Amino acid sequence: MKIDVGFSVLMGFISGVLMCYFFGKKTILKKHFKILKKARDKAKNIISIAEIDGESIKNKKIIYAKKKVLELKLKYDRNILSREREITNIENQTKKKNKRLYREIDIYFKKNNRLETQIYEYEKKYKIFNKKQKEFENLYKKQIKILEKISNYSSEEAKNELINSLKEDAKIKAQSYIKNIIEESQLNAKTEAKKIIINTIQRLSTEQSVENSISIFNIESDDIKGRIIGKEGRNIRTLEKATGVEIIVDDTPKSVLLSCFNPIRREIARLSLHKLVIDGRINPAKIEEIVAKTEKQIEEEIIEIGKKSIIDLDIHGIHPELIKIIGKMRYRSSYGQNLLQHSREVANISSILASELGLNAKLAKRAGLLHDIGKIPENESELSHAILGMQWAEKYGENIDVCNAIGSHHNEIEMKVLISPIVQISDSISGSRPGARKNSFESYSKRLKNLENIALSFNGVNKAFAIQAGRELRVLVESKKINDEKIFQLSYDITEKIKNEMTYPGQIKVTVIRETRAVQIAR
């Protein structure tokens, strides 16, 4: 009984659960159908909106595409128009060229027609000339036959007789002619030689400077002189010992004299003094250090000067030792003339003379540059500078012709090549130019002193100065002795005395100056 009740309860529970499930499912399905309907409606709305937006985008794209097509069409039309214009211009130019060509062709054919006419006329004249020539030959043969009958000589015998007589006459005339040619050629050779030398000198324009054995070292104040001398003269003695230069410190304001016949030592002393004064520390140790550095600097400069000289003259393959000797020439002088400047000038003159005469100009230039290397001896030698220079050139592998030109330029050995006399002539030309050497400078200095002495010989002259290389003389007179009226007479008298007593180039301007000064001292 209990079992039946339990079963019925279980069945009731199961049936209740099933009923709840079916009713709940139905309710859920209804809700789902509502959601799906709403989703479908929303999707339809989205699709309709999307279709509307798509249409508007499509229309916009179509409008943009049409606009682009129009722009491209306009651009294309413009290009076509510009090309059509270019084609039109080209066609017009072609037409003009064609017209010009047709004209030229017409002119050409007209000329050809004229030429053909002229050729025809010339051919006609040539035929007439040939005909006349044949007639002349026949007539000539007839005349020869007539002459042979009259003279009883054949044409060959007559020719031989005539040739023999002409030979004798020609010999006499030829001998006379040859004699005249030889005499004329000798005169012309002298004239041509003078012309070549004059042209060579005119092609060179070199400044001349006279060297001396004293350099002046300028200082800012006389206080430095005491520092240069040093305590008990130690500094100056050290400097003189290190450089081999005599240093003269006297009463001359703001200057120190450096005296030495060796320009290289003098230059070392000058540069060393300059460095010491700038540095301010002048003592024996510093002097030795500075002098050693300066000597090294000058050695480097000598090599650079030598290299620059051979580069400027376009000379190659010179031995390094000879380059050093060439650089040292810058610090040497020959009769007051700078040796490097003189050697470069001789090289240029030799090159020009050799080229004028059709010789080896480069070899002549090389010999001209090296001709005075014997004047730079490292040690004293008993040989002359020409022979010593020749030996050095041989030692350092120079050409035989160059060595002969160096050794013979003072006629100490025989001249064996043509460039030897050229170098000798060039050396003479360079050394004898006005102002080149010391003897010319001395005569120039003497002329200036004579000018000043002439002015000082007149009464009332206080001072006289020759200025502008002797082209002007300034005369200062005492105002108490010479008044304003007398200065004109004085200038005339000085001018007349200069004319009568002196020989000078150009003209000399005489200026007489008279001034009055009133000086008072306020105490």
Check residue 208 and give its pLDDT: 43
Kindly state the percentage of the chain with pLDDT values over 90. Answer: 0
CA distance 309 to 365: 12
Is the confidence at residue 508, as pLDDT, over 60? yes
User: With contact defined as beta carbons under 8 Å apart, do 389 and 373 qualify?
Assistant: yes
CA distance 131 to 14: 163
Check residue 187 and give its pLDDT: 61
Mean predicted lDDT score pLDDT of the chain: 77
Which residue stretches of 280-399 are H helix? 284-312, 320-328, 339-356, 361-370, 385-395
pLDDT tens-digit map of 183-242: 666 666 656 665 555 555 444 544 444 344 556 767 776 677 777 777 777 777 887 777
User: With contact defined as beta carbons under 8 Å apart, do 179 and 232 qualify?
Assistant: no
CATH topology of domain 441-513: GMP Synthetase; Chain A, domain 3 (3.30.300)
Calculate mean pLDDT across residues 407-428.
86
Check residue 313 and give its pLDDT: 85
Based on DSSP, count helices (H) and strands (E) in the chain, helices before strands. Answer: 14, 8
pLDDT tens-digit map of 248-272: 776 667 777 777 767 777 888 888 8
214-218 and 509-513 beta bridge pairing: unpaired
User: With contact defined as beta carbons under 8 Å apart, do 491 and 475 qualify?
Assistant: yes
The torsion angles phi and psi of 224, rounded to 5 degrees, stand at -70, -25
According to DSSP, residue 257 is labeled E
CA distance 389 to 358: 27
pLDDT tens-digit map of 297-333: 888 888 888 888 888 888 888 888 888 888 888 877 7
- For CA atoms 123, 125, 129, 130, give the dihedral sign: positive
User: With contact defined as beta carbons under 8 Å apart, do 493 and 475 qualify?
Assistant: no
Report the predicted TM-score, pTM, of the whole model to 2 decimal places.
0.44
Between residues 79 and 149, the one the model is more confident about? 79
User: With contact defined as beta carbons under 8 Å apart, do 165 and 173 qualify?
Assistant: no
CA distance 208 to 338: 8
Check residue 162 and give its pLDDT: 62
- Burial (Cβ within 10 Å: 0-12, 13-18, ≥19) of residue 366: buried
CA distances from 518 to 248, 463, 479, 484, 515 (A): 40, 20, 12, 17, 10
337-338 and 333-334 beta bridge pairing: antiparallel
User: With contact defined as beta carbons under 8 Å apart, do 451 and 457 qualify?
Assistant: no
Between residues 346 and 161, the one the model is more confident about? 346
Element (H, E) at 336: none
Is the confidence at residue 449, as pLDDT, over 60? yes
Check residue 206 and give its pLDDT: 47
Is the confidence at residue 295, as pLDDT, over 60? yes
- Burial (Cβ within 10 Å: 0-12, 13-18, ≥19) of residue 237: middle
CA distance 454 to 446: 12
Judged by average pLDDT, the poorest of 33-42, 93-102, 157-166 is 157-166
Is the confidence at residue 2, as pLDDT, over 50? no
Architecture of the domain made up of 214-312: 2-Layer Sandwich (3.30)
Is the confidence at residue 439, as pLDDT, over 60? no
Predicted confidence band at 174 (pLDDT cuts at 50, 70, 90)? low
Cα-only R_g, the chain: 57
Calculate mean pLDDT across residues 499-523.
77
Calculate mean pLDDT across residues 505-521.
77
The torsion angles phi and psi of 46, rounded to 5 degrees, stand at -60, -40
